[in-house]
Structure 1
Amino acid sequence: MKEVVKINLDNEMDLILAHKRSMKIAEMCGMPTSAQTRFSTAVSEVARCSIANGKDSVLTLGINVIKATQKEIVAILTDTVDLKRSNPEAFKYAAKISGNIEYSFADNYSITKLSHPVSSPGLLSDAKIRTLADYFKYEPPVSPYDEIRKKNIELIALSEKLGESENRYRQLANTIPVLICIVNDRNNILLVNDSLKQILKAPFLNFDKREISSFIHPDDVNHIMDNWSKVKKNRSQFSGETRIKSGSSYLWYLISIIPNPSEDGTLNNWLIYFVNINDQKKVEETLKNNSELKLIQSELENANSKLVFKNKELQQFAYIASHDLQEPLRKIMIMLSRAGEHLSEEQRTQYYFDKMTSAAGRMSSLIADVLNYSRVDNKELKFTKVDLNEVVRETLSDLSLVIEEKNATVNIGELPVVSGLNGQLRQLFFNLVNNGLKFNSAEPTVTIASGERAGDSADNFSPEGNYHAITIADNGIGMDSEYSGRIFDMFQRLHQRDQYGGNGIGLALCKRIIENHNGIINFTSQPEKGTTFFIYLPK
């Protein structure tokens, strides 16, 4: 139903309004005079019963659009009393003259509906229905009583809106963690929010020296009162800092006093609020008073800058030294090769050619390893997504000749995609798989697997957190637990050079790569039973 007009049924004047407006709506809908009279009389009968016997009665008149070609005028009367039971004769008469009446009563609420079809529904458009509602909205009063009643209804609605607005404002003022009060120019407190009330030990009635001394630091009271006097005199505002009592101590607050003009522009009161800045003051005082800390910070920054510079110099030195050392070594090895071409085996042994050639080769390998170690630095590089399955495939391709030569077996499980540096991760897997192949007296078997974490494995040092766990296990010669503390140190060799080659840099390089990736590397090993390395890379 599209509502046109609503009437509260309280007295006989409301009964007159109900009859006149029912008649007027019927007339404006094009109903014949006889139908107008029957409909408005039926509405009046029920309305009379409601005024006499009901409570909180409301009559709503409107248009019900059933479909485009079928519309009806409707009167709905609601009440908290069972009207039909209180006066069945009135309902019987209304049904007799109207013909279309429905009644229901449930949960202490009655609804009476009277309706009458509109004879020319096509003429009653949505625009016409809105015109009906506007007519009654601006309809001239039937009597002085009706005029006063309209004004009272408007005032009540305005008062309710004002009350809602005040409640929202009060709720907001009480919710925010700011101490708020409103003071007029006679120092009277007009409003105090809950946050400020919790701090006050007594009612806050006047903004004067005596009352603010109960919660403001004694050294700040005169300063605030002096500025309060200036604010009132100059009609201005003030902002400053003060200390407010909190238990046995005081906390720093920012105090602001700003004008709070009324709707007509007159200025008779001010908004005063306090915002807690105690944490900021602590930081300021710490930085201000601790000059020694500032000096240390400055020295640390200088030392850090020098360290960065020295590291760059060291990297450059390692690269240059490695490059420059490789060149004379290559020449020595070439000359040794040429010099030994025309010597017999006895002469080669006599002049130590094989030992010199071997020493020069080891020196070249050592320089290359040192250079690789110095280059493992990711500060200038960006991590990308690295598929470890692809990394392992490329590693095994590089080691294919060794695998074939040693008749080795490499088992590979599904490996994760991690965030890292592709080149460094290839070095990591190359060194660990190569160790499993090299340090082996039987046919090597290397198994590479992964899981969420290795906490359920033999590793007793698995980290807490969200890590990918990768294991690389071999069936090689293994090592004693006494070496576990220095296996990742530079130049550490656990076997004679003539037994197994290498410079003792491979595992140190692996550890540095893992550290660059914010990961962890551990291992377990037993002599003649093999070694398992545990690699943890953050997800």
Structure 2
Amino acid sequence: MKEIVKINLDNEMDLILAHKRSMKIAEMCGMPSSLQTRFATAVSEVARCSIANGQNSELRLGINVVKNTNKEIVAILNDSVDLKKCNPEAFKYAAKLSGTIEYDAGEDYSVTQFSLKVPSPGLLSEAKIKSLADYFKYESPLSPYDEIRKKNIELIALSEKLGESENRYRQLANTIPILICIINERNHVLLTNESLQVIVKSSFTVFEKKELSLFIHPEDVDHILENWSRIKKNKTEYSGETRIKKGDSYRWFLISIIPNKTEDGNFTNWLVYFVDINDQKTVEETLKNNSELKLIQRELEHANSKLTFKNKELQQFAYIASHDLQEPLRKIRIMLSRAGEDLSEEQKNHFYFDKITSAAGRMSDLISDVLNYSRVDNNLQTFLPIDLNEILHETINDLSLIIEEKNAVINISPLPTVSGLNTQLRQLFFNLVNNALKFNSEEPVITIAADEESTEPIDAYKPEGNYHLITIADNGIGMDSNYSDRIFDMFQRLHQRDQYGGNGIGLALCKKIIENHNGVLNFTSELGKGTIFYIYLPKY
């Protein structure tokens, strides 16, 4: 089959798209109105069943060329559920309408196929079939929902490409035998590769004398910092030689510091890399007073020229890699801006476009954080004062749609300011509040408070030391105490996927975030009566 259009079946709007596009393909292939209606209605009937009962539902519409003189319109609906078993009456009615329907199902799949012969197959040339696909590719959106959905699909595709690009960059940085780090104008170390981490063996968060002296020869540190101050002021580059401690001895390295430029020409950070040249230095010292090895010295000079060329290539690589990683982010922001131009203010308000734009902006920030810190342990990240009230406000804003949909009540008391990482703490509160909304069969009531003096019923969980205590309590479905030792395990699910969504990673991630912040996470729960999570974060 030559595919013309594909539709993911998630809700009633997708059902409308399935019906209209089935009608349109039949119309463009020269079908009479009665056959158009029967074909589109049959497809819609099974699509409705898929939306109501299915999982991972997908509808593909296209043209099947049986022979040059025999072509047919084909609709194929794939699902992970046996749809016919769920609603046999729908299939019976669809078969009565379409006349030609084929069905196949297994343990975790089902395939429904409709076909309708084209009355004038000679008119459907290869060029005509391609024009059909182009029509749906570039057709105007049927509704603001359709436009937003298209933009979201494009955003997801760009995000996936961005992730692939970041993975390739990370793998390359970790496999080349060069020590690499990235620093900003405030001397903060944003990223280090694995080779440098092995050398440092301790925290390396600031490009300053105290931390550099841990692995660079004390006689070389001041010279490096003097040149760093100079090039930071003049926006230039620096290259020199230094000695780095490996084991019980020092080896000579070539150090280079080059600025990374953004698209508008500004400097945001510097790439610092060290290349081991100890063997070359040893030979160089040997050759100084040895006239018999002049020929070897010339060969070494040639090798050094090649090394200089390779260093230039590395500089080019750093610029290209940085540009390639930032380009998808720029396109995402442009698409959001253009999408806003196509909608009226009423449409923006009706479809929460401001919230979509805000969420996309935070997604861009999150991707930037991942790029800058993907290879940095928490020991190498800088903890900052974080107002948990702001974090919670952003979380409630992100979840506003489901809060309105479930008519949830959120009771919030003032929360403290803690030392931590903004992105991780935002993820912590988002997961816990989202779980309280999701795992609830009634109208959710969620209470979030800070209680430093509470003794009941959490004394057994309270760690020693000076901690803030934040509680998140809900009236949800709760959980059996038999699962208390497994709830924070990766991919641990206590319910069937068709009952409650999720992939079993959320609470494991929450516990990891708390551990990263030197805190403690625990809970009490009773089946059918709700859950209380206790979050202990150190005071600073």
TM-score normalised by the shorter chain: which range applies? 0.5 to 0.7
1:275 aligns with 2:272: no
Residue pairs, 1:20-39, within 5 angstroms: 20-39=20-39
Match of 2:92 in 1: 92
Q: Give me the whole-angstrom Cα distance separating, in 2, the residues matched to 1:243 and 1:14.
A: 64
Match of 1:173 in 2: 173
Match of 1:194 in 2: 194
Give 1:20 deviation, angstroms.
0.4
Distance 1:203 1:76, change over 3 A: farther
TM-score (norm 2): 0.53
Match of 1:237 in 2: 237
Q: Give me the whole-angstrom Cα distance separating, in 2, the residues matched to 1:265 and 1:71.
A: 56
Residue type of the partner of 1:205?
A: T
Residue pairs, 1:201-212, within 5 angstroms: 201-212=201-212
Match of 1:65 in 2: 65
Distance 1:208 1:32, change over 3 A: same
Residue type of the partner of 2:159?
A: S
Residue type of the partner of 2:291?
A: K
Q: Give me the whole-angstrom Cα distance separating, in 2, the residues matched to 1:55 and 1:125.
A: 36
Give 1:32 deviation, angstroms.
1.0
Q: Give me the whole-angstrom Cα distance separating, in 2, the residues matched to 1:98 and 1:231.
A: 74
Q: Give me the whole-angstrom Cα distance separating, in 2, the residues matched to 1:180 and 1:295.
A: 38
Q: SS in structure 2 opposite 1:260?
A: strand
Match of 1:294 in 2: 291
Residue type of the partner of 1:53?
A: N
Residue type of the partner of 1:266?
A: N
Q: Give me the whole-angstrom Cα distance separating, in 1, the residues matched to 2:209 and 2:44.
A: 68
Residue type of the partner of 2:30?
A: G
Distance 1:296 1:245, change over 3 A: closer
Do the aligned residues in 1 keep the contact of 2:65 with 2:72 (CA within 8 Å)? yes
Give 1:106 deviation, angstroms.
2.5
Do the aligned residues in 1 keep the contact of 2:287 with 2:293 (CA within 8 Å)? no
* Per-residue Cα deviation, 1:505-529 (whole angstroms, up to 9, x for no partner): xxxxxxxxxxxxxxxxxxxxxxxxx
**Structure 1, 261-270 or 80-89: larger mean CA deviation:** 261-270
Match of 1:224 in 2: 224
Distance 1:296 1:153, change over 3 A: closer
Distance 1:63 1:264, change over 3 A: farther
Distance 1:268 1:95, change over 3 A: same
Give 1:204 deviation, angstroms.
2.0
Give 1:203 deviation, angstroms.
2.8
Give 1:77 deviation, angstroms.
1.0
Match of 1:385 in 2: none
Give 1:296 deviation, angstroms.
9.5
1:264 aligns with 2:261: no
Q: SS in structure 1 opposite 2:195?
A: helix
Give 1:219 deviation, angstroms.
0.9
Distance 1:203 1:74, change over 3 A: farther
Aligned length: 295
Give 1:264 deviation, angstroms.
3.2
Give 1:98 deviation, angstroms.
0.6
Distance 1:139 1:296, change over 3 A: closer
Do the aligned residues in 1 keep the contact of 2:257 with 2:272 (CA within 8 Å)? yes
1:80 aligns with 2:80: yes
1:139 aligns with 2:139: yes
Distance 1:109 1:265, change over 3 A: farther
Residue pairs, 1:299-338, within 5 angstroms: none
Residue type of the partner of 1:17?
A: L
Q: Give me the whole-angstrom Cα distance separating, in 1, the residues matched to 2:176 and 2:221.
A: 25
Q: SS in structure 1 opposite 2:149?
A: helix
* Per-residue Cα deviation, 1:306-345 (whole angstroms, up to 9, x for no partner): xxxxxxxxxxxxxxxxxxxxxxxxxxxxxxxxxxxxxxxx
Q: Give me the whole-angstrom Cα distance separating, in 1, the residues matched to 2:67 and 2:243.
A: 72
Give 1:90 deviation, angstroms.
1.0
Residue pairs, 1:40-55, within 5 angstroms: 40-55=40-55
* Per-residue Cα deviation, 1:38-64 (whole angstroms, up to 9, x for no partner): 111111011000000001111111111
Do the aligned residues in 1 keep the contact of 2:287 with 2:294 (CA within 8 Å)? no
Give 1:265 deviation, angstroms.
2.7
Q: SS in structure 2 opposite 1:89?
A: helix
Q: SS in structure 1 opposite 2:147?
A: helix
Residue type of the partner of 2:252?
A: W
Q: SS in structure 1 opposite 2:261?
A: coil
Match of 2:157 in 1: 157
Do the aligned residues in 1 keep the contact of 2:50 with 2:57 (CA within 8 Å)? yes
* Per-residue Cα deviation, 1:87-124 (whole angstroms, up to 9, x for no partner): 11111111111111111123512111111111111111
Q: Give me the whole-angstrom Cα distance separating, in 2, the residues matched to 1:96 and 1:143.
A: 31
Give 1:3 deviation, angstroms.
1.1
Residue pairs, 1:501-520, within 5 angstroms: none
Give 1:138 deviation, angstroms.
1.5
Distance 1:296 1:159, change over 3 A: closer
* Per-residue Cα deviation, 1:359-409 (whole angstroms, up to 9, x for no partner): xxxxxxxxxxxxxxxxxxxxxxxxxxxxxxxxxxxxxxxxxxxxxxxxxxx
Residue type of the partner of 1:200?
A: V
Q: Give me the whole-angstrom Cα distance separating, in 2, the residues matched to 1:189 and 1:66.
A: 63
Residue type of the partner of 2:114?
A: L
Do the aligned residues in 1 keep the contact of 2:82 with 2:110 (CA within 8 Å)? yes
Give 1:297 deviation, angstroms.
8.8
Q: SS in structure 2 opposite 1:207?
A: coil
Q: Give me the whole-angstrom Cα distance separating, in 1, the residues matched to 2:206 and 2:177.
A: 22
1:116 aligns with 2:113: no
TM-score (norm 1): 0.53
Q: Give me the whole-angstrom Cα distance separating, in 2, the residues matched to 1:25 and 1:297.
A: 80
Match of 2:15 in 1: 15
Q: Give me the whole-angstrom Cα distance separating, in 1, the residues matched to 2:122 and 2:294.
A: 87
Residue pairs, 1:368-379, within 5 angstroms: none
Structure 2 alignment gaps of length 5 or more = 296-540
Q: SS in structure 2 opposite 1:23?
A: helix
Residue pairs, 1:403-442, within 5 angstroms: none
Give 1:183 deviation, angstroms.
1.3
Q: Give me the whole-angstrom Cα distance separating, in 2, the residues matched to 1:121 and 1:45.
A: 27
Do the aligned residues in 1 keep the contact of 2:257 with 2:270 (CA within 8 Å)? yes
Residue pairs, 1:331-480, within 5 angstroms: none
Q: SS in structure 1 opposite 2:267?
A: coil
Q: Give me the whole-angstrom Cα distance separating, in 2, the residues matched to 1:54 and 1:280.
A: 66
Residue type of the partner of 2:141?
A: P
Give the aligned CA root-mean-square deviation in angstroms: 1.6
Q: Give me the whole-angstrom Cα distance separating, in 2, the residues matched to 1:296 and 1:9.
A: 76
Match of 1:214 in 2: 214
* Per-residue Cα deviation, 1:239-267 (whole angstroms, up to 9, x for no partner): 11111110111111111111211233321
Q: Give me the whole-angstrom Cα distance separating, in 1, the residues matched to 2:118 and 2:267.
A: 59
Between 1 and 2, higher relative CO (CA 8 Å, sep ≥ 6) is seen in 2
Distance 1:296 1:255, change over 3 A: closer
Structure 1 alignment gaps of length 5 or more = 299-539
Residue type of the partner of 1:294?
A: S
Match of 1:185 in 2: 185
Give 1:185 deviation, angstroms.
1.5
Match of 2:125 in 1: 125
